[in-house]
Structure formats: structure tokens, C-alpha cells
Amino acid sequence: MSEQPDADATIEARLHEQDYFRPPAKFVGQANASDPDIYDEVGEFPDGFEQYAELLDWDERWDEVFDGSNPPFFEWFVGGKLNASYNCVDRHLDERKNQTALLWEGSDGEQENITYQDLHRRVNEMAAALRSQGVEEDDVVTVHLPMVPALPITMLACARIGAPHSVVFAGFSASALAERVDSADSDYVVTIDGYYRRGEFLDHIEKTDEALEEMDRDPQVLAWSRHEEPSDEVSDDYTDVESLLDEHERERVEPVSRDAEDPLFLMYTSGTTGKPKGCQHRTGGYLAYVAATSKNVLDIKPGDTYWCAADIGWITGHSYIVYGPLALGTTSVMYEDTPDHPHKGRIWEIAERYDVDIFHTSPTAVRMFMKWGPEYPEEYDFDFRHMTTVGEPIQPEAWLWYYKHIGDEDAVIVDTWWQTETGGHLITNLPALEDMKPGSAGKACPGIEPALVDDGGEKLEPASGKAGNLIIERPWPSMLQTVYGNDERFISTYWEDFSDTDSDDWTDWNYKAGDGAVQAQDGYWRILGRLDDVMNVAGHRLGTMELESAVAEVEKVAEAAVAAREDAEKGEVPDVYVVVREGVEETDAVKEEIVAAVEDEIGKFARPANVIFVDDLPKTRSGKIMRRLLENISNEQELGDTTTLRDPSVPEQIRDQMHGD
Ligand code: WTA
């Protein structure tokens, strides 16, 4: 069993209860989920989840809803067959071929309005193009694309031919890309020459060029072009996607009928070790669950214009820009570049232009909008019916600002808690059925059974108001299948701490979320944040160990530890504590080298906020670094118990050095 942090000592539930806000009557009257019986119906385990699967078109209906005979390798909709691309594209053609599926806005105001008919043509051509390059069913295709239509088109093309995609966020560095290609045994990389960031054309292909030098595999590279012609930077060794598409113009590719349990995609995410893990998601259970939550939680209807302003390179974009919304046949907006380019009103300008009904963003973005001030949204005429936050806890203050200045006190807000691993929302209100409570994610989704346990695995009383480790007691259809290629890691990371791993009865198995939480008397859940060495930087999940291994690449560094510092805007930022090697001078140049190493190994978005030189790191007698003490120092909190340290004076020295006496 891995070491468990002490929940009581590490999480402080210094929270006061907030008022409730009722959903507006006009919302309730039109909501998709307006009958409270949904909780009981879906909660009938496991058959209740059949109504989720029934939202999809199946080639063959399942024989069994759930097979729990080999825990924790659960199976869903066993024997069923379907294709995700068919469900997101083809099946909408009869009713709404001329409706917009994807509305894309580029950096300079360039627009693309892709109807379901267009999407069908483009996905088919790309599927044919991939096949022509040898991509076969079950080959993992690594997709390193930014927020351009090529990204969802490539994903859906992969799904069409049964090739699981592994999308690597465009902001990841060459090294991070190389690691993920190797880890996924991927023989294909799909990328693009460049894209726009703050109005500048960014060379993106260079990351693939460099990654190829670093990786063990030798994948074939397919390169899209951001403009009609590929930029001069693109190597002749790569296959030009645009010409390939010309060769396959108007070709049709029959969607491959996939077993419900066949993988749809991998999504790498940070954990507690230096190596990111490939969360493997199944086709049937995943698509059913994200379609159902898009319908019930996000209240998406085909006639809506829905905008999740996240990046498709993370799980939020997979589930709630691409798969969920398109499975429901709605219009999903996507945009390139940043919310402040070319001006700080960009988001609201887009919302007004397309008359967006449902808006989805992160608390980090809300805090940023709040800092910029209400005058930007006030300038535009938009009217959201529904708003979502995801990815981090939202402070009641930020929630209230969002409610007032963006929602005009007239929109519902859902605060959705979930993870890359969970595939879709697990804790959040069904907006017509529960009142909103700022700072609280709300109730468990239908059919989901969260609970809290102490560090010894003893269950806390429900709704006790005490903090504990969040677990999910019952399986659900969109849970990860495994960690790609590493079933042991799957078990050790998510199951072994709070399950009876000798049991073959699935009810003895509990999924460990890695988050701390409290459940208030009203049954609402408040998520307190990670209890393991994972931090959340502006909604991006980063592993402490990944950051530390990046820092360790710098030769001048003898030892380093990373701590999460609370940040008013980004939620958390990494502070790096460094002991330099004998004879190395502690200079700004060394600091810069360390920052550059993190940018090279992971990506610019992971850039440390501070690099702090210290003489020693706080360690236990057995030599384990006590990161939690460093976190207390970074956050100017009490040090707490230091008696188990080899040298209890170390943290105090560091604190004095940082904050003075
Ligand atoms: C955190 C993002 C509080 C949590 C979908 C979780 C949240 C991690 C919320 C997963 C929320 C996500 N309130 N915290 N509504 N949503 N988190 O895998 O710590 O990028 O474990 O998935 O984000 O991050 P991931």
C-alpha cells in the first residue's frame, strides 16, 4: 500500500456554508432533465445505465449491461457493437445535414462553419487518408494538434476506422510528445505546420522534428497545413495531409463496427510518478456516458449553440467539445488563440456573434475575467442559459462574479467535478433539479456513489461535514479501462489503497480519486483538491514528480523538490526548491536553466513560478523528502509537526530564508 497523506492534517475544511440559488423558472421549464425520478431510475445498478446507452445508435445491442466478474477490469454493454464517428456524424445527416456541427473561429477572425454534411465528408476523407498510409484498426495514432478543425476531424476519422487516438495537448514540448509516442507504441503522428498564438504564427512542426530525435520509435508523420500550402519548415519526409485529402476526395469509409469494450482513445495524464499514464477509454460506455451527461448536466439540445472554451487536448475537450455534444447533434463552437487576443472582449464577442446558449469554462478563466473587469462582458450582447465550470474548485467569490456579470443572474451554473480517468462528470448538480451553492460541486450524478474514507480506509458517516479521501464505490460506464499497457499501475494507483484486492466480488473494490472532499449535511460535495503529489496549474494537471525529473535534468542541480503554491489567479503554481551541486554558484542563470528545463521537458504552461535555492531539503530519517512542509512554507502556513525529520531545523531555515523571521 502506498503512503496515504493524513487527510485531517493536510486538508482544512475552513469553509462556511453559502446560500442557495434557485435555477430560474424559465430554465427549469425547458430542461432536459426535469424529473427527479432520474436519480432512482439510473441508480438501479447496473441496468439504470441502459438509458444512457439508448441515446446512441448501436450496430448490435449489448447482451449484458455490466460484467464485474474480473475486478477492477469492469466491462460495460458487453457484446454491443457501435462506431463513435457514426454516432457523432452520420446519424445526424437525415435530420440535420445542413446544421452547423462545428463553428470555428481562428486567431484573426477567420471563420469556418462546418455543417454535419461537411463534417461527414471531411471525416471520411481523413479516414481514407489515414488508411492509405497503413493505419489499421487498433493502431494508436498520436495527434499533436492545436485548436483547429483538423483536430476533431482527425479524432473522428480515427474513431471511424477503429484506430484509438492519443491526443497530446499542443502546448506539450517535444520531449513530452516523444515520451507519449513511445509509451503508446504509436506508429503514426498527426501534426500541423503551425498555428496562431497571440496573433503570431507559431512553428509547431519543430516539436515533431525534435521529438523524432528523442523517441525510440520511428513513426510516420502526417502534417496538416494551417494555410493552403504547408509552411517551408515542414520536412519532405512527412506526408502532406492536404494533398493526401485531395487524393481521397469524396471517398467514403464504412465506419468500423467496434466492440463496446474496444478502446476509443488514450489520454495521458499526470500522476504521482515521473511518467504520465495513458488512461484508456472504451468506446460504448464512454460515449454513452458523455452523451448522457451532455444532455442532463449541460442541458444540450440539438438546436443549441454550445461553447466549451477549453482545449480539445485535455479530457474536457474530448468529452464536452467533441464526443458528447456531437453525439447529441448540437452545434459546438471552438476557437484558436487566447481569450485576450486581439482584445480582452474576445470571448464575449464570439458569444454575441454566434448567440451562444451554453458556455463552459474553468475557474482560472473566471478569475482572469474577474481581474479584467466587468466592462468587457458588458460591452457585448449575449445571453447564456447555462454555464459550466470544470477543473478546479471555484471560490464562492469567483462563482458570484460569474453568476452576476456573465450569467446576468439569470443563467444556471453547474460546477462539474470529474477527472481524465472518470471520462465524464461524476459530481455536479442536474441544474433543474437542485439549487446552486457557490463553491460546491453539488450532488453526485445519477448512478454515481461517492463516499469518503479516512486514511485507514474506514468510511466516514455520510454528510458528516468531515474531510476525507474521496472514493467512488460503484463502477460507471465511462471509467477508464486500464492504464495503457500497465494493468499493475492501474490497480496500484486507483484501487489498492481502499479495496480488498484479494476479492473477486466487485463490491469490495473502491475507486480512489486522489482528491480530498467534504460532504455537507445537505448532501452537497465540496472538493478540496488533490491529496497526492499532483497539482492543478490553471486547470492543467501536473505531477510533482514529472516537474522534479525535469529539474533533475539540469546538471548543476544536486537535488530538487517541487511544492504547489496557492495563486489567486492560476489556482496553484509550482515552486521549485533546489540544492545545487558543490561548487555551483546560485545565480539567476542557473534559475533560468531550471525554468528552461521544465519548458523543454513538459511545456511552457508548466513553467515554475519561483526557483528557490536552499542548503538542504526537509527529509525524514529514511531520506524521504517532505514536500508537504515545503508547501506550507510556500503558502506561509504553520509548519506543523517536524519531529519525524532527520534535521528538524531545515524547514525553519528555509522559511526564514524565504519570508524572514
Ligand atoms: C480537479 C479535469 C474541484 C480535481 C476534468 C481532480 C476539480 C482533477 C473539479 C482532475 C471541480 C476537477 N472542483 N476540483 N469541479 N474538477 N477538479 O484529470 O483535483 O485534468 O482530481 O480532469 O481536477 O483533473 P483532470
Nearest partner of 327 among 279, 285, 370, 294, judged by Cα: 294
For residue 531, report the distance from its CA to the centre of ligand 1, in Å.
12
Helix or strand (DSSP H, E) at 75: strand 75-78
Give CA separation, 3 vs 270, 337, 534, 541, 620, in Å. Answer: 18, 41, 14, 21, 13
Last residue of a domain, one of 498, 517, 548: 498
What is the pLDDT at residue 18? 76
Residue 417 Cβ contacting ligand 1 at under 6 Å = yes
What average pLDDT does this structure show over 477-496? 98
Residue 363 falls in which region: left (phi positive, over 0), alpha (psi -120 to 50) or beta: alpha
Kindly give the number of the ligand 1 atom that is closest to the alpha carbon of 394: 13
pLDDT at 307 over 80: yes
Whether residue 286 is contained in a domain is answered as: yes
Is there a single domain that holds both residue 112 and residue 46? Answer: yes
Q: Which atom of ligand 1 is nearest to the CA of 541?
A: 20
Residue 581 lies in a domain: yes
The answer on 368 and 421 residing in a single domain is: yes
- CA distance linking residue 645 with residue 306, whole number of Å: 53
Q: Could you tell me if 264 and 139 lie in one domain?
A: yes
393 lines ligand 1 (CB under 6 A): yes
In angstroms, what is the span from residue 216 Cα to ligand 1's centroid? 32
Specify if 242 maps to a domain. yes
DSSP codes of every residue in 112-148: EEEEHHHHHHHHHHHHHHHHHTT--TT--EEE---SS
Residue 571 CB–ligand 1 contact under 6 Å: no
| Calpha distance 441→417 (Å, rounded) | 6
Average pLDDT, the chain: 95
Last-in-domain residue among 498, 519, 553: 498
> 174 and 270 share a domain?
yes
Task: Using the mean position of ligand 1's atoms as its centre, give its distance from the Cα of residue 526 in Å.
Answer: 12
pLDDT at residue 661 in the model: 54
Rounded CA separation 355/345 (Å): 15
Q: Is residue 598 part of a domain?
A: yes
Distance 391 CA to ligand 1 centre (A): 4
Q: Which residue owns the Cα nearest ligand 1 atom 20?
A: 541
Domain, as residue range, for 551: 537-659
If you measure from the C-alpha of residue 529 to the centroid of ligand 1, how many angstroms do you get, rounded to a whole number? Answer: 8
CA distances from 413 to 362, 416, 527, 548, 558 (A): 12, 9, 16, 37, 48
Residue 540 alpha carbon, nearest atom of ligand 1:
20
Q: Is the CB–ligand 1 distance for residue 316 below 6 Å?
A: yes
* 532 found inside a domain: no
**Ligand 1 atom 12 nearest Cα:** 391
**CATH number of domain containing 561:** 3.30.300.30
Q: Is 573 helix (H, G, I), strand (E, B) or coil?
A: strand
Residues 475 and 543 in one domain: no
Distance CA 569, CA 550 (A): 24
In a domain, 7, yes or no: no
Strands (E), 431-474: 450-453, 467-472
Kindly state whether residues 493 and 542 are assigned to the same domain: no
Q: Decide whether any atom of ligand 1 lies within 6 Å of the 390 Cβ.
A: yes
Q: What is the pLDDT of residue 640?
A: 83
pLDDT tens figures, 49-63: 999 999 999 999 999
d(CA 228, CA 611): 43
* Domain total of the chain: 2
Q: What 8-state DSSP symbol labels residue 442?
A: B
pLDDT-based confidence at residue 660 (cuts at 50, 70, 90): confident
Q: Is 428 in the pocket of ligand 1 (CB under 6 A)?
A: no
List the beta strands (DSSP E) in 467-539: 467-472, 482-483, 511-519, 525-530, 534-537
Closest CA to 130 of 84, 83, 87, 186: 186
Residue nearest to atom 3 of ligand 1 (CA): 393
Pair (492, 549) in one structural domain? no
Does the pLDDT of residue 385 top 60, yes or no?
yes
Tell me, yes or no, whether 260 and 169 share the same domain.
Answer: yes
Output the CA 418–ligand 1 centroid distance in Å: 5
Q: Closest ligand 1 atom to the C-alpha of 416?
A: 15
Q: For residue 13, what pLDDT is reported?
A: 42
Q: Is the distance from the beta carbon of residue 536 to the nearest atom of ligand 1 less than 6 Å?
A: yes
410: its cell numbers = 439569470
pLDDT at 17: 62
In angstroms, the CA 249 to CA 239 distance is: 16
Out of 451, 469, 498, pick the residue that ends a domain.
498
Q: Are residues 281 and 207 in the same domain?
A: yes
Q: How far is the CA of 416 from the centre of ligand 1 (A)?
A: 8
Same domain, 572 and 446: no
Cα gap 606→562, rounded to integer Å: 12
Side chain identity at residue 171, one-letter code: G
Whether the predicted pLDDT of 544 surpasses 50: yes
- For residue 464, tell me if it sits in a domain: yes
Q: Confirm whether 367 is domain-assigned.
A: yes
* Residue 527 Cα: closest atom of ligand 1: 3
Q: Domain with 94 in it: what CATH number?
A: 3.40.50.12780
Q: Ligand 1 in contact with 270 (CB < 6 A)?
A: no
Q: Does the pLDDT at position 549 exceed 60?
A: yes
Q: Whose CA is nearest to atom 24 of ligand 1?
A: 419
Q: Mark whether 493 and 607 lie in a shared domain.
A: no
Residue 298 sits in the same domain as residue 431: yes
Q: Is the CB of 532 under 6 A from ligand 1?
A: no
Q: How confident is the model at residue 16 (pLDDT cuts 50, 70, 90)?
A: low
Query: Which tens digits make up the pLDDT trace of 177-199?
Result: 999 999 999 999 999 999 999 99
